[in-house]
Amino acid sequence: DIQMTQSPSSLSASVGDRVTITCQASQDITNYLNWFQQKPGEAPKFLIYDASNLETGVPSRFSGNGSGTDFTFTISSLQPEDIATYYCQQYDDLPYTFGQGTKLEVK
């Protein structure tokens, strides 16, 4: 199975800050990577596919980058409504696997 390692596991930032989360795959997954946002009590919400393509309606302050084994997810200017846990997921091969999540908090 492909292992997905996210860092950091938690992050505290201020409104307006630039925030970056990294996700590393245990083998080359090309660009077959999704990013999800999960708020407390809610289902994960799909944000980015193919590592860098924004889902329709997702604010442009969110972005993704990377290919191969190393990927990043960035919020250019943190907003209060962005407080959530973020997950990466590879879909290069079954079983699909997820990172352990990055919990984002506001300072």
Partner 1 sequence: EVQVVESGGGLVKPGGSLRLSCAASGFNISTFIMNWVRQSPGRGLEWVSSISDNSHHIYYADSVKGRFTISRDNAKNSLYLQMDSLRAEDTAVYYCARDLTSGWDGGNYWGQGTLVTVSS
Q: Give the residues lining the site for partner 1 (CB under 8 A).
A: 32, 34, 42-46, 49, 55, 87, 89-91, 94-98, 100-101
Shortest reach from residue 50's CB to partner 1, in Å: 9
Residue number with CB closer to partner 1 (73 or 78): 73
77 Cβ contact partners less than 8 Å away, ≥ 6 residues apart: 16, 17, 18, 61
Name the minimum Å distance from CB 34 to partner 1.
5
Q: What is the DSSP letter of 80?
A: G
Which helix (H) or strand (E) element contains residue 105?
Answer: strand 102-106
Tokens of 55: 């889902």
**Cβ-based nearer residue to partner 1, 66 or 78:** 66
